[in-house]
Amino acid sequence: MQVQIAAFAKDRGVAPAKVIQVLEDLGVDHDGKAFDADQDILDLLTEALGEAGDEKTLRLASGVTPRDLATAMGVAQPEIQKLLVTKMKVMATLTTSLKDDIAEKIAEAYGYKIAWGSGAKPAAPVAKKAVVKAPEGDQIRPPVVTILGHVDHGKTSLLDYIRKANVAAKEAGGITQHIGAYQVQLPEGTISFLDTPGHAAFTAMRARGAQVTDIAILVVAADDGIMPQTIEAISHVKNAEVPMIVAVNKVDKPGSNPDKVLQQLTEHNVIPVAYGGDVEVAKVSALTGEGVPDLLEVILLQAGILELKANPKGELRGVVVEAKVDKGRGPVATILVQNGTLKVGDAIVVGQTYGKIRAMTDHLGERLKEAGPSTPVEILGLSDVPMAGDKVEPASDEREARGIAEERAMIAREKSLAGPIKRITLRDLRAQLNSGETKTLNLVVKADVQGSVEAVRGLLEKVQNEEVDVKVIHSAVGPISDSDILLASAADAIVVGFNTKPEANAKVQAERAKVEIRTYSIIYELIEDIEAAVKGMLAPKFEEQYLGTVEIRVVFNLTKVGKVAGCHVTDGKVLRGAMCRVKRDREIAWEGKIDSLKNVKQDVREMIAGQDCGIQFDGWIDFKEGDVIEAYELIQVN
């Protein structure tokens, strides 16, 4: 039947524009004046008009997701999830279909009623944000979690407890294999844990370009509070921009003070939800298991908010978590699948190694034929042992895989011959700024006492200009450690020490990773250097390094070459091109460069103690028998 819009609107006491809006929402054809409708459509329209006028009624189809609800009410998605988990004890991701009564309860909490419709897409009364559909095939994947914290705060115990409580008990033998990662399956969802706690593993992976962790758990013992490695871990996690959950552990211990830990955390800019921030905290005991289910729940909640997705049918992507050579089995690697599905028989390239997967087992030692996203598996069949953090990529067959791996190995060799990896240095900062390579100067600051840490940090943060951001990514009391170097290499930072020195091992590591360390004992020199570097005006600083001592025993006058000093090396060595100071009667007769160095008539690069040689100087011939030459080199120290 033909219905006039104006009359229909008048009958129901609404504006004609409202009728048109509802007609469009329901997808009913109209020409602005009239529309065709049967009784069903009229009923639907009447119902919709009644509710559309009521801002507090949501018209939704059955099976809504938390995300639909959030959109319809104009509420932030995490809020809905939090409500679900904490108040209603319902574990759901953003795209899980909710039971109608649960959805109604949520709506009620925000003052809405739900009118369940037939499936016609509802008009959202508040927010009309488009729901972005995930690309075809993308599915929610389990979160990958790493546990960090100070030594002895219970990282290993917590990992063990979670594994035992959720994994081993289900197995007949209850024997789990250590493969570097494990997965727990809970009724509410699955979580993958990386089994090497601590920030060394976390940051080493990142330094190699692999970001594996989705969520970091910071363990802090309630009886000990925030300790140096806790602060380091906070810096590492913040720098990697990974969401953090705090597990206050050992709450079973008499004298433990979880609230003090929360207070301390705020001092390090980790603000718990209880203090108005956004960091979730779970109070747990790895000994008794108290609070551990809450922790797991919070992890799943956080994962839901992150909407971690991967496509099991997509291209294979993975990363090596751990690798070793096994006597009987050859190279063994634990791989975390990040996208796609890894199958037995697949040809893969893993960093500079390759192979065809011979066998695959999970953390229970069970044989698998395939593994999807976020699953850790141990694989056999690689040509060699890859490195943790190496990427796993597909190849069409073993031959192709081998070709790619070998080419990579060759390029890597050439690169290592070509010179050290390029890293940021204060001297090159200006050049790197000019070439657009960087805009930030990241610094790791270590100092002798807390007062100086604060002072240095405060002053450094004032050194800014419009081109450079000076950012202190970590600051702490103590010597410069391995962990500082690791963080600096992952974040391309420079380490500055004030009244403190690098530990021996850190020095070696820094040389290997080409991380610059600068130490100072005068605060304004430190600040001046950074200021100068930012302006691109840092003058090179040289230090003299003694090489050796040489005596002039005879002076030759040769027709073709001119005057030559016949010398004997009495200590150390002398190099062609080295700097030298010529002393005569305790006075310095000349200072300059050694131009030529000869052994009899042959040009040589170096002569050592006990050898005789002929020396000519760069632009000086007034040398005499008995002169003593002190040779040295100038080493650039910045």
User: In the bound complex, what is the minimum distance in angstroms from residue 242's beta carbon to ligand GDP?
Assistant: 19
Angstrom distance (rounded) from CA 124 to CA 74: 9
Of the candidates 206, 186, 200, 277, the residue with the CA atom closest to the CA atom of residue 232: 200
Residue type, 13: G
User: In the bound complex, what is the minimum distance in angstroms from residue 319's beta carbon to ligand GDP?
Assistant: 23
Quote the longest CA-to-CA distance of the chain: 125
Q: Does 157 bind ligand GDP (CB under 6 A)?
A: yes
User: In the bound complex, what is the minimum distance in angstroms from residue 228's beta carbon to ligand GDP?
Assistant: 13
User: In the bound complex, what is the minimum distance in angstroms from residue 185's beta carbon to ligand GDP?
Assistant: 23
User: In the bound complex, what is the minimum distance in angstroms from residue 157's beta carbon to ligand GDP?
Assistant: 3
Q: What is the DSSP string of 137-160?
A: T-EE---EEEEEESTTSSHHHHHH
Of 146 and 361, which has the nearer Cβ to ligand GDP?
146
User: In the bound complex, what is the minimum distance in angstroms from residue 312's beta carbon to ligand GDP?
Assistant: 33
Between CA 541 and CA 548, with CA 546 as vertex, the angle to 5 degrees is 150
Of 152 and 326, which has the nearer Cβ to ligand GDP?
152
Q: Of the listed pieces 284-292, 330-338, 434-442, 517-525, which binds ligand GDP according to CB under 6 A? A: 284-292
Of the candidates 497, 494, 435, 452, the residue with the CA atom closest to the CA atom of residue 470: 494
Determine which residue in the list 71, 196, 213, 249 makes contact with ligand GDP, applying CB under 6 A. Answer: 249
Q: What is the pattern of x (binds ligand GDP, CB under 6 A) and - over residues 174-203?
A: -----------------------x------
Determine which residue in the list 30, 253, 423, 507 makes contact with ligand GDP, applying CB under 6 A. Answer: 253
List phi, psi (to 5°) of 632. Answer: -150, 165
Angstrom distance (rounded) from CA 7 to CA 571: 113
Q: Does 252 bind ligand GDP (CB under 6 A)?
A: yes
Q: Does 225 bind ligand GDP (CB under 6 A)?
A: no
Of 230 and 383, which has the nearer Cβ to ligand GDP?
230
Q: What is the pattern of x (binds ligand GDP, CB under 6 A) and - over residues 137-156?
A: ------------x-xxxxxx
User: In the bound complex, what is the minimum distance in angstroms from residue 465's beta carbon to ligand GDP?
Assistant: 42
Please report, to the nearest 10 degrees, the dihedral formed by the alpha carbons of residues 224, 227, 229, 230 taken in order.
80
Of the candidates 429, 442, 426, the residue with the CA atom closest to the CA atom of residue 238: 442
For 19, counting Cβ atoms within 10 Å of its Cβ (0-12 exposed, 13-18 middle, 19+ buried), the class is: buried
Of 153 and 402, which has the nearer Cβ to ligand GDP?
153
User: In the bound complex, what is the minimum distance in angstroms from residue 166's beta carbon to ligand GDP?
Assistant: 17
List phi, psi (to 5°) of 338. Answer: -105, -30
Angstrom distance (rounded) from CA 19 to CA 356: 65
User: In the bound complex, what is the minimum distance in angstroms from residue 76's beta carbon to ligand GDP?
Assistant: 34
User: In the bound complex, what is the minimum distance in angstroms from residue 154's beta carbon to ligand GDP?
Assistant: 3
Of 149 and 355, which has the nearer Cβ to ligand GDP?
149
Of 152 and 397, which has the nearer Cβ to ligand GDP?
152
- Total residues contacting ligand GDP by CB under 6 A comes to 16
Of 284 and 580, which has the nearer Cβ to ligand GDP?
284
Site for ligand GDP in 334-393 (CB under 6 A): none
CB atoms closer than 10 angstroms to residue 172: 5
Residue showing tokens 């298991």: 289
C-beta nearest to ligand GDP: residue = 154
Of 149 and 381, which has the nearer Cβ to ligand GDP?
149
Question: Do 490 and 207 touch, CB atoms closer than 8 A?
Answer: yes
Question: Do 479 and 503 touch, CB atoms closer than 8 A?
Answer: yes
Share in percent of the chain as helix, strand, coil (round to 5)? 30, 35, 35
Query: Mapping DSSP to helix (H, G, I), strand (E, B) and coil, where does residue 133 land?
Result: coil
**Token reading at 195:** 């089994």
Of 251 and 303, which has the nearer Cβ to ligand GDP?
251
Of 249 and 489, which has the nearer Cβ to ligand GDP?
249
Chain length of the chain: 638
Of 262 and 527, which has the nearer Cβ to ligand GDP?
262
User: In the bound complex, what is the minimum distance in angstroms from residue 147's beta carbon to ligand GDP?
Assistant: 8
Of 94 and 282, which has the nearer Cβ to ligand GDP?
282
Q: Does 285 bind ligand GDP (CB under 6 A)?
A: yes
Angstrom distance (rounded) from CA 218 to CA 245: 6
Q: How many CA atoms lie within 13 A of 233 on its CB side?
A: 28
**Token reading at 464:** 């800014």
User: In the bound complex, what is the minimum distance in angstroms from residue 489's beta carbon to ligand GDP?
Assistant: 24
For 354, counting Cβ atoms within 10 Å of its Cβ (0-12 exposed, 13-18 middle, 19+ buried), the class is: buried
Q: Does 62 bind ligand GDP (CB under 6 A)?
A: no
Determine which residue in the list 206, 250, 363, 474 makes contact with ligand GDP, applying CB under 6 A. Answer: 250
- Quick one: how far is CA 75 from the chain centroid? 31
Site for ligand GDP in 287-306 (CB under 6 A): 287
Q: Does 438 bind ligand GDP (CB under 6 A)?
A: no
**Token reading at 133:** 């559909």
Of 28 and 286, which has the nearer Cβ to ligand GDP?
286
Determine which residue in the list 204, 286, 348, 405 makes contact with ligand GDP, applying CB under 6 A. Answer: 286
User: In the bound complex, what is the minimum distance in angstroms from residue 159's beta carbon to ligand GDP?
Assistant: 8
Question: Do 163 and 176 touch, CB atoms closer than 8 A?
Answer: yes
**Token reading at 70:** 């959030």
**Token reading at 203:** 């940051």
Of 86 and 156, which has the nearer Cβ to ligand GDP?
156
Binding site for ligand GDP (CB under 6 A): 149, 151-157, 197, 249-250, 252-253, 285-287
